[in-house]
Amino acid sequence: MLRGVGVDLVSRNRVKQFLSRHRGYVRERFLNFSERRSLKRLSLQEFAELFTAKEAFFKACGEAWMGLEGFQGMRMKRCGGDHFEMEWRTGRTKKLYRGEGHFFRSGDLVGAQAMIWR
Amino acid sequence: MIMEKELFTKVQQTLAGALGVDESEITPEASLKRDLGAESIDFIDIVFRLEKTFNLKIPAGDLFPSHLLNDERFVKEGMVTAEGLAELRGKLPYLELEEFTKDPQITKLADCFTVKMLLRYLSDRLGKSSCSDQCCS
């Protein structure tokens, strides 16, 4: 049974602007340990996809915005092509969400849609 | 100690830079999301910019109540409970919850993140006891 759906969309231009100001902060406060290791260069595309995937997944979970702490707790796994899987163990209560999603692109926009199954 | 007017001006400049809106649109009552169009990446941008502008670190739980909202005592079936509201008032005194309490859907909490909330928070962090009416009027 489908438990939740989430979609997120971000402009590549906005991401470029954001990364040009905050690349160091992003590495330190947005990425988790394994992302810091695997995304050494952190390209605009990599960050845009990671961000939209996490944001879409978070919307599918129906949780309140958890700031940077929440984003760091999410783990995304690329599954080939535009498909990804996601897992999120939230804060202190350790509620566990698992789901999957896909990326899509149109012009300047990068997006992700995520689904959580009960 | 930073003056109230100066604080407001700096916050206005910071938000205008992050959100691409005119400084005149940034009033104390404006909701970051509903009125100024802030989206998730903007919230992060705002936090980072405020940290740089005021040379401080803003822990996640300070402005956005993630640690409270993970607690099942405080949120049930998408609604903040009475106990949750009391906790929010106690832990995040900068939030204005009057409107929110009428329909405390968790997804609407972001509407409470206003410019005034930031001013109060920063005022507190920067060593002033409170943000006066002059600053937030």
Please report, for the domain that includes residue A70, its CATH number: 3.90.470.20
pLDDT digits (tens, 9 = 90+) for B60-87: 677 776 666 667 788 888 899 999 999 8
Tell me what pLDDT residue B51 has.
92
A93 vs A71, which has greater pLDDT? A71
- The packing angle between helices B40-54 and B4-19, to 10°, is 140
Q: What is the mean pLDDT of chain A?
A: 90
* Domain membership of residue A52 as a residue range: 2-117
Residue with tokens 């410019």: B115
Q: What average pLDDT does this structure show over B123-134?
A: 65
Q: Which residues of B touch A (CB under 8 A)?
A: 39-41, 43-45, 47-49, 51, 60-61, 63-67, 69-72, 75, 78, 106-107, 109-110
Predicted-complex ipTM score: 0.80
Closest CA to B121 of B57, B37, B33: B57
User: In terms of CA atoms, which chain A residue is nearest residue B72?
Assistant: A93
Q: What average pLDDT does this structure show over B33-42?
A: 89
A70 vs B66, which has greater pLDDT? A70
- The packing angle between helices A12-25 and A44-61, to 10°, is 90
Separation CA B12–CA B29 (nearest Å): 12
Tell me what pLDDT residue B35 has.
94
Q: Dihedral angle at the C-alpha atoms of A93, A94, A99, A100, nearest 10 degrees?
A: 120
In chain A, the number of structural domains is: 1
CB of A98 within 8 A of CB of A87?
yes
Q: Do A66 and B60 touch (CB under 8 A)?
A: yes
pLDDT band for A57, please (50, 70, 90 cuts): very high
Q: What structural domains and CATH numbers belong to chain B?
A: 1-58+113-137 (1.10.1200.10), 65-112 (no CATH)
Note the maximum CA span of chain A: 42
